[in-house]
Structure 1
Amino acid sequence: MNNRAPANKRYQPTEYEHAANCATHALWIIPSIMGGVLLYFLSNDQWEETSAWLYGAGLSSLFTISTAFHIITWKKSHLRSVEHCFHMCDRIVIYFFIAASYTPWLTLRELGPWAAHMRWVVWVMASGGTTYVFFFHERYKVIELVCYTAMGVFPALVVLSMTDRAGLYELLVGGGCYVLGMVFFKSDGVVPFAHAIWHLFVAMGAGIHYYAIWKYLYTPVNQQTSTAR
């Protein structure tokens, strides 16, 4: 690994770290697309179809844009403006991925009158995060991390209040993967391959959450108990 970057600059990975950063998310592009398609074909109504489409789009976009950004960063040389654009997209897609990950639970599970508003609040939060990136990209890194954490935790309070608790264990374990991975997200220059390790935690968290959505919301037995809307 290289030396840790100053607070106002990005860490510059080694060639091996660049390769690892690309590979650890590129491996999941096709599986994430196939996973979204599978949920779509398992859908029985328009709400399940919409949830599957949004979730699949968020999941596959996360891995695709992340991979594209890291490839451009690795081979950039003179593509500074393109790299900056993809870096912003890489940050923005995280907000929409979080919203998309909650959408099946908030849409296909029965919620109380107040909690049901979270179905659209998560997308407002994602839009707010996008605005923040446009105006303050990489300017206040700690605030950015707090925003991601808040958006990841706040909707969970609604999900935990659902009458049907099936799948909550997987949601907590997957969320734990993201939280543990954030330690490595901020450890470039301290831990070798820190960002690639972060990618692996993201992949694990996403995989566990996908399994929970597939098993508890889209399998025939559990679809009968999904009474949202």
Structure 2
Amino acid sequence: MTTALIATSALARSYAMGKTSVAALRGVDLTVQPGEFVALVGPSGSGKSTLLHLIGGLVRPSAGEVWVHGLELGRSSDAELVAYRRDTLGFIFQSFNLLPIKSAWENVAVPLMLAGVPLATRKARALTLLEQLGLAARADHRPAELSGGEQQRVAIARSLANRPRLLLADEPTGNLDSRTGKEIMNLLQRLVRDEGLTMLLVTHDMGVASFADRIVHLRDGMIERIEAVGRDGG
């Protein structure tokens, strides 16, 4: 084992389409160090979302290994994967996936509720996160009363509720205009730096990818090249 937070070795994933097997990911070797911000880019069908889902423990590999924080996900039990996703990961999606009948703070508190945290504690944590993300005044508003950028900030706050080590983001600016998208990326970049988080982000937008430390270019299920960027994106 290495000190890497994420380490994949000959990682592969195939899907059955009728009688045909389609290789979505083919022999990927990738390491991500703690505190790194890595973007996965590539055309549709390149394998970037499949790689994110494998690292998120949402699907299992067809071959190879994927280690995250000392856990080999392919050999882990379903219960271990549930605990891994609950305790280690924060997910951010293109569609904000907020509960429409819940207020902003209640949406942020959902992971804490699932973890059995008492109401007063989870509300205090949710309100603190919303304040940090500039939404203290919107804590009691429902998603329909928030702008797209505000909804994504609520979703980001929710992803941080359980103090994850790793954030996984799938096209987090896909439903936002360019100005709001840049604000969200500045926020995510700051969170990685200030909170010591590690982040893996899937995007088709090279402007979004430029906020990362490294850009991993995928094509046909394989890593084509890895580009060092630094933290001066945008």
Give the alignment's TM-score, normalised by structure 2.
0.24
Q: TM-score, normalised by structure 1?
A: 0.25
Say which structure is richer in strand: 2
